[in-house]
Amino acid sequence: MDVSSILDPLNSAQRAAVCHSNGHALVLAGAGSGKTRVLVHRIAWLIQAENVSPFSILAVTFTNKAAAEMRGRIESLLGIPASGMWVGTFHGIAHRLLRAHWQEAELPQNFQILDSDDQQRTLKRLIREMGLDDSQWPAKEAQWYINARKDEGLRAGQVKLYPGQKNDAHLLQMIEIYKYYEALCQQAGMVDFAEMLLRAKDLWQKRPDVLQHYRGRFQNILVDEFQDTNSIQYDWIKILAGDSGRVFAVGDDDQSIYGWRGAKIENIHQYTKDFTPSETYRLEQNYRSTGNILNAANGLIANNTDRLGKELWTEDSEGELIQVYSAFNEIDEANYIVDNIQQRLNEGYRRSECAILYRSNAQSRVLEESLIATGMPYRVYGGLRFFDRQEIRDVLAYLRIMTNRNDAPAFERIINTPTRGIGNKTLEVVRTTAREQNMTLWQATLSVIENKVLPARAIGALQAFVDLINEHAELIANVSLSEKIEHVVHHSGLEAYYEKEKGERGRARIENMQELVQAGVNFEAEDWQQEDENMDELSAFLSHAALEAGEGQADEWDDCVQLMTLHSAKGLEFKQVYICGVEEGLFPHRLSAEDPVRLEEERRLCYVGMTRAMENLTLSYAEKRRIYGEDSYPTPSRFLKEIPQDCLHQVRVTGFAKQASGYAGDATSSYSETPQDENGLNISLGQRVLHPSFGEGMVMNYEGEGRHARVQINFEEVGSKWLVMEYANLSLA
């Protein structure tokens, strides 16, 4: 191929970056600006124009999917196989190095790779062998600590203690666990994921001959998603490049959203200081979104400080204004979104072209319920449906066994969750007893305890489990469904267990369990009790949860609505995007309110979410939200105020919402009907109505229209109340 075929498809900014000649290059590639194209065409340029061997180019990215896409594009553009090229993830490249240089890396030739589950099981066994109580020293917490230190490039012996930490018994014990774990892995020839990069860096430093070989070979190093590099990855690239290698880094500091898992935005800011001489290129022409979406995103991200700076623009039309919906509550919000998706489908959109994004996993439950109620297929991208999630299944298993002691799957699930000293040997005795004596697992446990067929310690652990279930089953017998769930969350040990799982994932598990409590508040057992009048509320709820989980989400390739967290949305695009829960305390998350660094990452996360939208973007918030098990009356997110107001269209703004947000936009609605309840009853001011719980009253006021309207009724017995028409169940007096 000739050089023109490499350059002709590019715009002027892309072309300048691809043709970069001397020294290093930092390419600031805005959302939708064609960064993968630039990387691939840069590789083609090196091979065709600079006569660089394909086998002397190292291209590193973060996911196997991205690496496969890059290889595919290289093959398509150049017409040569990319299989022999060094194009892969950081871990993939490091693994390739260690396999080639296992002796120099002080590893056995057939060293074993530990995945996350293997690592956790290994740590669990080691903690017990150290004589530590694994309920006090959970393997998950040790795993998080060890991997975080490795990502910082630190061995156990290199962890520095600050003056205030030298008497920290917990920290000192963690370091000791790390030391034992290092020794065990070295002895057994095991390498975990975090170790791969650290061991590869050690290889560079301990064996200068190996380093010089690869420095001579890889004179051109290309790094994708540079803003997502952590300390060890940055050091690894810097060491390999040395004084002679050229590092072509592509990234976007405005899309750095993984600080919670070790990514350091400082790396992209430090680039021009550590890699000299260098030149910076900005890719600002966007090929994805409309002008209004880009103007809104630019206005939002401009509120962050210490940016490298760029301004996205498009040659396409301005497009529709961004829709902002002020919901009465989270149910109204979910129903509005699902109704709006149906409108888009009527306009010719496919379901797969619509995505609902949320800050917290716990928000998905109400959205899923609304989608299921309307029969709209959906898929939780990169995650599990609400009732399929591990922590939710754990809570439900406790409730199930408190309802039915002979529930074997529930017994197996929670007998040692959280860990309580009941190991596989003890369980095998229980299973054997059950099988030989034709008993349930619960009955077999009682038999094993009574006949003392195990050592005293094992008998004590089983007895403690039996006592826990019996005691708490009695305590929750006469309380409401939501109180039953809340009791199990707090007293089963699950809450404390998952609180020890550090980072975003642990926090999400706690929030999901709190949301399960709210599911109990909202649950209506009447539909189930019509089928079986003897079914109690808890049994009905457990049946509901089982069917919700068993229904299964749509397959990956089905035409279905996409649900995902904002973090999961990075790198994707959809014609219609909904970002829900745009409220203070939820987005930005409450933990970032007093932390300027976290707040700026939250703003970048919002920027990433907004720039996923190609044609239409809807932002929504609720005046009242029941989340994490508590009622809140949030104010609209500061992010809404930071977006230029001429980019926004207010779908429904109440007096409350106007006052809270400072909006000056019009207060129009997408609904044209008068207030109407679920039975189709239309009402008017002054009309007398009946409510099944509050009795007779008069309609005094309303706001909004149609099913989603909210009405104020002065009831004779309980006074004035505001009700959402869709759920009011009113009749004429």
Pairwise CA distance, residues 203 & 207, whole Å? 6
Q: Which of 353, 280, 285 is nearest to 24 (CA)?
A: 280
Over the Cα atoms of the chain, what is R_g? 29
Does residue 310 carry a catalytic annotation? no
Count the helices and strands in the chain (H runs, E runs). 29, 22
Rounded to 5 degrees, what angle do the CA atoms 314, 650, 660 make? 115
| Catalytic residue (choose from 134, 195, 224, 583) | 224
Whether the CB-CB separation of 79 and 177 falls below 8 Å is answered with no
- Reading the block at residue 588, the tokens are 């930005």
Annotation marks residue 35 as catalytic: yes
**Burial degree of 164 (CB within 10 A; 0-12, 13-18, 19+):** exposed
On whether the CB atoms of residues 586 and 626 are closer than 8 A, the answer is no
Give catalytic status of residue 36 as yes or no.
yes
H or E element, residue 686? none
The three-state (H, E, C) secondary structure of 574-643, written as one string: EEEEEECCCECEECCEHHHCCCHHHHHHHHHHHHHHHCCEEEEEEEEEECCEEECCEEECCCECHHHHHC
User: Residue 685 carries which side chain, given as an amino acid letter?
Assistant: L
For this structure, is 514 an active site residue?
no
Q: Is 168 helix (H, G, I), strand (E, B) or coil?
A: coil
Burial class (CB in 10 A: 0-12, 13-18, 19+), 632: middle
Q: Which of 36, 48, 529, 712 is catalytic?
A: 36
225 in catalytic set? yes
Please answer whether residues 296 and 579 qualify as being in contact, where contact means their C-beta atoms are separated by less than 8 angstroms: no
- Please pick, among 14, 35, 254, 509, the residue that the annotation labels catalytic: 35
C-alpha dist (Å) from residue 19 to 14, 28, 223? 9, 15, 16
Rounded Cα distance, 608 and 368, in Å: 23
Catalytic hit among 42, 570, 612, 626: 612
Per annotation, catalytic residue among 134, 151, 225, 677:
225
| Cα–Cα distance for residue pair 611/286, rounded to 1 Å | 10
How far apart are the C-alpha atoms of 650 and 653, rounded to whole Å? 6
Choosing from 255, 433, 576, 611, which is the catalytic residue? 255
Chain-centroid distance of CA 146 in Å reads: 22
Catalytic residues: 35-36, 224-225, 255, 612
